[in-house]
Structure 1
Amino acid sequence: MKMNVDNPWISKLIALFFAIVLFSFVTFENQSRNLSTDPTDGASITSSEVITNLPIDINIDRDNYFVSGIPETATIRLEGPQAILTQTLATQNFTIETPDLERLGPGSHTIELEAAGLSNQLNYSVMPSEVAVEIEEKRVEDHDVRIEFNESSHLAEGYRAQDTILSNETVTISGALSTMEQISDVMVVVMPEGSNITEDIEMTLNVLVLDETGDPLNVNISPQLIDVRIPVKGTQRTLPIVLEESGIPIEDYEYSLEVSQGEPENVTITGESDIIEELNNFVIEVDVSGITESTIRTIPLNHPDGITETNPRELDVLIRVNRVQNEEDNENDNESN
């Protein structure tokens, strides 16, 4: 039987059929999309996340064993339901850790890093997945700290370094037995900036633990940083004091200078050796400007070039004042007689 497609009713029926099919397809697609994006049904979404710089827990008795080869941090890739993953990222109540290394015992081993505390609905992979480690017996020792300082390269001429003062003269060192046996030197190197130093040196320095070739060793040091103080003193010499009048004296007055009773007759100076050796005495200038009667003045001791310190730093000087009578004064005195 031949269908008459020219019949308008048949054309309408065919159009209606395709419209129903198309409507059903679109409705099914929208329902599927709503189900997959419905926020209340997040467990149906699979997602992934990468977390970096996670510390690694080492499962071993660190008082008795020393482990080398384990990196400081690891990276983990998590995959699973979006809701579970979101909560895991928010709390981060999981850890990256090694297996029980004590069961392996001393020696070289290859281990796999593990994640602990994750939901069993999450899949994960740790990078690096495998780590080559060395497990050794641990040794703990105390060592004296040596100071290395080249004073000739840093101190000014005529200055010398005194005994160094350390915040810790000994440090505690721990490490693998085989490494500890290689310790040849425990030291700090004092390298201040600049040269011609005349003042005390104060620095905070790292403690170095070296083998006999001067290479650093993989050990733990406590404390790692220590404070170093090097007193710096110049050449000293004691010289007699010479008082010299300075300033503008008042006419018809004469002055005499002397060290006050109880004051030292000598001064100890510190400074460059070449300058000190040229001195035979220490001159102190006393300003008599405006003085008309005997008085005691405290004079600060100035530092000549090349001198950094004096002891004492100041001196009491007695200034005696006498009035000188001129001829006019004598004539007046005679007339009055």
Structure 2
Amino acid sequence: MIKKIINSNYFYAFIALCCALWLFFFVSTPGVGSTRDSNQSNTSTVTKKATFTVPLQLQADVDKYYITGYPENVKVTIEGPSALVTATKNTQNFNLYLNLKDLSIGQHRVQIKESGLNSELTYTIKPKYVTVNIQQRETKKFAVDVDYNKESLATGYEAGKTEVSPDTVTVTGAASEIEKIDKVIVKPILPKGIKSSFDQEVLVQALDKNGKTVNVTLDPQTVHVKIPITIQSKQVSVNLKQQGSSTNSNYTFESDVKNVRVFGTQDQIDAIDDSIDVPVDVSDVTGNTKKSINLSDALGSKVAFTDPESISVTINTGSSSSSSTNSTNSTSTSNSDSSSTNNNSSSSSSDSTEDNNNSEQ
């Protein structure tokens, strides 16, 4: 019976009907596949906006012309499908440029253009127009001068011959700007009171006769500047000399320091002999004493400084020996007077004895 039913055409018709109903419900009911397609559709329709900076390119004969006035970078805002905006921002696979190929020498207002952006994107560029100056290009070499404030050096220190490396630079610019250049210079800034050699990279400047910067390109833009800074010195002996008025003329001076080293410029050192006179003021000295003499103050502008900076001087007035002499003289006088008294006493005693003898007779 079951076999007869299975072999029946009605059975196959029933199976076909069930399959058709199943397919109908599968298509009409949302499933995993339809959800994925829906999400993809929604993503493609979501828009996004992004702003970023892009280098500005030139389409011109830059070997022949020198062009100024344009920015190196410009801002671009793009809008469109989210995925496309993100990809464009990350890759920046498009160009913003100025087409100057057909322009003559002079100033021109030129629109910034783009190439390579997807047609589904809209964009705005800021600035939209720029004013460029096209001039005949010229290249010239200049020697580099050095200008610095020598007052920055510490007292007594001198600067030697300045070394600049490289000592020439290549200047490129409009021919009219090159003609304005009066000098190419570096201005190293030395610290106040510098005592050691200056050794740094310094920015190069092209200046006109009024000291204003000329609009040109320098290669290299910095140079190495070395300024040797030194101080001269010399070992000399010390001569202690009396200074100031006093009634005592028997002063003598003693110091444990016999030699000092003096420092200064080459001219100062050359002007000093093998010894220096150090004045010792005695105008306020009334007895044996010690004084500390500041050598820089004593020598004035003859040197920058000394080593040591000061020395201790013992001043002897000779008053101790004078007092001793007076004391000795006083003692001698006293002894003489005592002897005279004793002699007188002896004489009186002799006279008295003689009188007694006469009386007995």
- Scaled by the length of structure 1, the TM-score of the pair is 0.59
Q: Cα 1:228–1:48, aligned 2, differ >3 Å: closer, same or farther?
A: same
Counterparts of 1:160 and 1:126, CA distance in 2: 57
Q: Cα 1:203–1:270, aligned 2, differ >3 Å: closer, same or farther?
A: farther
Counterparts of 1:92 and 1:208, CA distance in 2: 36
**Residue of structure 2 in register with 1:15 after alignment:** none
- 2:232–2:269 CA contact under 8 A, matched in 1: no
Counterparts of 1:202 and 1:37, CA distance in 2: 69
Counterpart pick for 2:263 among 265, 271, 281: 271
Q: Which amino acid in the other structure matches residue 107 of structure 2?
A: S
Q: Cα 1:102–1:213, aligned 2, differ >3 Å: closer, same or farther?
A: same
**Residue of structure 1 in register with 2:57 after alignment:** 57
3-state secondary structure, aligned to 1:48 = strand
Shift of 1:305: 5.4
**Residue of structure 1 in register with 2:352 after alignment:** none
Q: Which amino acid in the other structure matches residue 187 of structure 1?
A: I
Counterparts of 2:190 and 2:195, CA distance in 1: 12
Q: Cα 1:162–1:96, aligned 2, differ >3 Å: closer, same or farther?
A: same
3-state secondary structure, aligned to 1:87 = helix
**Residue of structure 1 in register with 2:229 after alignment:** 232
Which structure 2 residues correspond to residues 127-206 of structure 1 after superposition, within 5 A?
127-151=126-150, 153-195=151-193, 197-206=194-203
From the two aligned structures, give the one with the greater strand fraction: 1
Counterpart pick for 1:280 among 257, 260, 274: 274
* Pair 1:212 & 2:209 matched: yes
Structure 1: gaps of 5 or more residues: 1-33, 243-268, 283-303, 308-337
Cα distance per residue 1:72-113 (max 9 Å; x no partner): 2111111222332232123221222112x1211221111111
Counterparts of 2:231 and 2:36, CA distance in 1: 87
**Equivalent pairs: percent with the same residue?**
28
Cα distance per residue 1:51-87 (max 9 Å; x no partner): 2x32211222322211111012111111222332232
Q: Cα 1:60–1:156, aligned 2, differ >3 Å: closer, same or farther?
A: same
Cα distance per residue 1:185-223 (max 9 Å; x no partner): 21011221112x332121221001111111111111011
Shift of 1:275: 7.0
Shift of 1:176: 1.0
Shift of 1:278: 5.0
Which structure 2 residues correspond to residues 1-337 of structure 1 after superposition, within 5 A?
38-51=39-52, 53-99=53-99, 101-151=100-150, 153-195=151-193, 197-235=194-232, 271-273=263-265, 277-278=271-272, 280=274, 306=306
Counterparts of 1:108 and 1:217, CA distance in 2: 18
Shift of 1:35: 11
- Scaled by the length of structure 2, the TM-score of the pair is 0.55
Q: Cα 1:37–1:124, aligned 2, differ >3 Å: closer, same or farther?
A: farther
Cα distance per residue 1:255-301 (max 9 Å; x no partner): xxxxxxxxxxxxxx88314577556269xxxxxxxxxxxxxxxxxxx
More displaced stretch, 102-111 vs 126-135: 102-111
Structure 2: gaps of 5 or more residues: 1-34, 239-260, 277-303, 308-361
Choose 1 or 2 for highest CA Rg: 2
Q: Which amino acid in the other structure matches residue 44 of structure 2?
A: A
Q: Cα 1:227–1:270, aligned 2, differ >3 Å: closer, same or farther?
A: farther
- 1:35–1:41 CA contact under 8 A, matched in 2: no
Counterparts of 2:197 and 2:79, CA distance in 1: 61
3-state secondary structure, aligned to 1:88 = helix
- 1:207–1:225 CA contact under 8 A, matched in 2: yes
- 1:110–1:131 CA contact under 8 A, matched in 2: yes
3-state secondary structure, aligned to 2:59 = coil
Shift of 1:231: 1.2
Counterparts of 2:136 and 2:212, CA distance in 1: 22
